[in-house]
Amino acid sequence: MSGALTVFRKELRGFFFSPIAYIVITTFLLLSGWFFFSTFFLYNQAELRNFFSQLPIIFAFIVPAVTMRLFSEELNSGSFELLSTLPVTDSGIVMGKFLAALTFIALMLLPTIAYAFSAALLGDLDWGPVFGGYFGALLLAGAYAGIGLLASSLTKNQIVAFIVGMAICFMLTIFDRMLFFVPESVLSVFAYLGSTTHFQNISRGIIDTRDLLYFLSIMFLALYATTFVLKEKR
Amino acid sequence: MIEVQGLNKFYGDFQVLKELDFTINKGEILGLLGPNGAGKTTTMRILTCFLQPSSGTIKVKNYNILDHPLAIKNMIGYLPESAPLYGDMLVYDYLAYVAAMRGLDGGLMVRRIAELVELCGLKEVVHKAIHELSKGYKQRVGLAHAMMGDPEILVLDEPTSGLDPNQIVEIRQLIKEIGKEKTVVFSTHILSEAEATCDRVVIINRGAIVADGATDRLVREFGGGAVVDVTLHFPDAQLVTAELRRVVGVERLEDFSEVGEGLVKMAIFGKEDEDIRSALYRVIREQGWDLLDFHRRTETLENVFAQLTREN
């Protein structure tokens, strides 16, 4: 357990020592800010719905960029050998890295609270959906970070890790809009698989166990698979 | 301390290790020798729980490697080949990270890092990023990494590669120093290094153990008896050969004499371990030949190594 905590601290610090982190944060803030404010004044309503509705597609690109180096770099440089001969379990390593990525994304989201305050200044903001939105954003980030981590554990190449992770996240994001291709008999199953609807539910302030379960099971499956991949490398 | 039994490792269809059996005793310095690709690194990676064996058992202090990897990782400090460290970390930060992994914190951590910085000669680089360091310094940081938790067992994969001659001597002394209290396993290409440092060597060739024992014992065992090289000043080589062949204890003679030089050069092989020097010299003195060179050939670990690893 202390091993996982040490990995977490090292990785979180590591994010801020590499230029990628700053590039990712800047890109994220630019994209989300632009999407938000470009339509904010047209609707003439004090709400953050626009910001949150764009979040899944932005995260599908940003989160795999955050996670891509976590295992690929170690596998490439060989430092994974040192890491895995220190007294820490594989699941400890995976959890440490996962939580570091999630914390980093939470820190990346932090400045966007300014959007909420500026909206609150201009009108009567309903804070319920805002809290729901951030809660949902963390769940979404967790699910995508799990997928990104899995992709990173599969390859020594960071670019490949990014593309694989992004492709899977992107697919989950647009699943809801592709449902007209799916036969009606299996529609309900496929409708459950897309991430956007689940996220929108939570970001409206409705916390449903089905939506929670969706994100938590993706996280669990992805992290479990990552541990499995690491074990198979031996 | 460490017991390896029937260890096999496959990479796909390729068998890297074949039925390795050996034990490492407490407080021993064991050298793992072998040509490139013999399986030294793989053996060490399995010992340190980085790779899993395909079959066979390894016990470290009665802990099975498959059931208690964490307990074993706690006992072993490992320096992989070419020390793949995190390049973008500062040396001090890296050592602090390893210390935290080894469960050290606060004053204990600071003291241990200071000790290792002193011991491994890292004073000048402690605030530099690891990727700025030369290979020798990286190797030393790797050594500090391995020793951080004060482990009972040290596994070092080619600890002296990439170091300059002075550093090599330093590291060897360090290994000997550590070996007084701890168990050390290290691999090397440099045979003189193994001879100078190890209590015992295990020679691996193509994944199988071909020799296991103290260096002087191996040299005696595989050296193939006593050989005496003789050079004489005498025109008739055939007469000399005939006379010397009759000496008691001589098994055979190899004649290297060149015609016209007036010199007789030969290697004389004794039966088993018999010392034939006095018997030979008596004959030479009686015949009154001018003796120019007379010495017993000493087998070196190099010869033994070459013989053992070339055969198959």
**CA end-to-end distance (rounded Å), chain A:** 22
> What is the pLDDT, as a whole number, of residue B230?
85
Q: State the pLDDT confidence band at A62, using cuts at 50, 70 and 90.
A: very high
Which phi and psi angles does B23 have, rounded to 5°?
-125, 150
Each residue's pLDDT tens digit, B248-286 = 778 777 777 776 667 888 888 877 666 788 888 888 888
Residue B259's pLDDT is 65
* A25/B7 Cα distance (integer angstroms): 49
Residue A213 has pLDDT above 90, yes or no: yes
Instruction: Check residue A144 and give its pLDDT.
Output: 96
Gap between the Cα atoms of B171 and B135, Å rounded: 14
- When mean pLDDT is compared over A152-156, A197-201, B220-224, the highest value belongs to A152-156
Quick one: pLDDT band at residue A140, thresholds 50, 70, 90?
very high
pLDDT band at B294 (very low <50, low <70, confident <90, very high): confident
Each domain of chain A, given as residue ranges in start order, spans: 2-232
Least confident window among A62-66, A220-224, B31-35? B31-35
> Taking CB atoms and an 8 Å cutoff, what residues of chain A touch B93?
13
Q: Which of A118-127, B140-149, B189-198 has the highest mean pLDDT?
A: B140-149
Residue A10 clears pLDDT 90, i.e. is over it: yes
Closest residue on chain B to A81 (Cα): B50
The shortest CB-CB distance from B50 to any of A3, A10, A85 is to A85
Q: What is the pLDDT of residue B240?
A: 82
Which position has the higher pLDDT, A186 or A82? Answer: A82
Given pLDDT bands bounded at 50, 70 and 90, which one contains residue B169? confident
pLDDT(B223) > 70: no
To the nearest whole Å, the CA of B71 is away from the closest chain A CA by 8
d(CA A51, CA A38): 10
Report the alpha-carbon distance of residue B103 to residue A137 in Å, rounded. Answer: 35
Tell me, what's the pLDDT at B134? 87
- Judge whether residue B312 has pLDDT over 60: no
pLDDT of residue B225: 60
Pick the CATH number of B225-298 from 3.20.20.140, 3.30.70.260, 3.10.20.30, 3.90.226.10: 3.30.70.260
Closest chain B residue to A77, measured at CA: B84
Helix or strand run (H / E) with residue B120 = none
Q: What is the pLDDT of residue B174?
A: 83
ipTM of the complex: 0.87
Give the residue from B93, B101, B145 with the most A CB atoms within 10 Å of its CB, the best one to mutate.
Answer: B101
Q: Is A9 on the interface with B (CB under 8 A)?
A: yes
Per the prediction, chain B carries an average pLDDT of 85
DSSP string of A117-148?
HHHHHHS---HHHHHHHHHHHHHHHHHHHHHH
Least confident of A32-36, A225-229, B252-256: B252-256
User: Residue B196 pLDDT more than 90?
Assistant: no
Q: Judge whether residue B158 has pLDDT over 60.
A: yes
Q: For chain B, give the percent of residues with pLDDT over 70.
A: 96
CATH class of segment(s) B2-213:
alpha beta
Cα B260 to Cα A103: distance, rounded to the nearest angstrom? 88
- Say which amino acid occupies A127: W
B8-59 pLDDT per residue, tens: 888 888 888 888 898 898 888 999 988 888 889 999 999 998 988 898 889 8
pTM of the model: 0.85
Confidence at A126, pLDDT banded by 50, 70, 90 = confident
Question: Looking at residue B66, what is its pLDDT?
Answer: 86
Asked if A17 and B70 come within 8 Å (Cβ–Cβ), the reply is no
Average pLDDT rounded to a whole number, residues B215-242: 77
- Condensed to tens digits (0 to 9), the pLDDT of residues A70-123 reads 999 999 999 999 999 999 999 999 999 999 999 999 999 999 998 888 888 888
Q: Tell me how far apart the alpha carbons of residues B158 and B79 are, in angstroms, rounded to a whole number.
A: 8
B45 interaction partners in chain A (CB closer than 8 Å): 81
Per the CB < 8 A criterion, the answer to whether B225 and B231 are in contact is: no
Spell out which residues of chain B touch residue A6, defining contact as CB-CB under 8 Å.
Answer: 97, 100-101
Q: Which residue has the higher pLDDT, B39 or B299?
A: B39
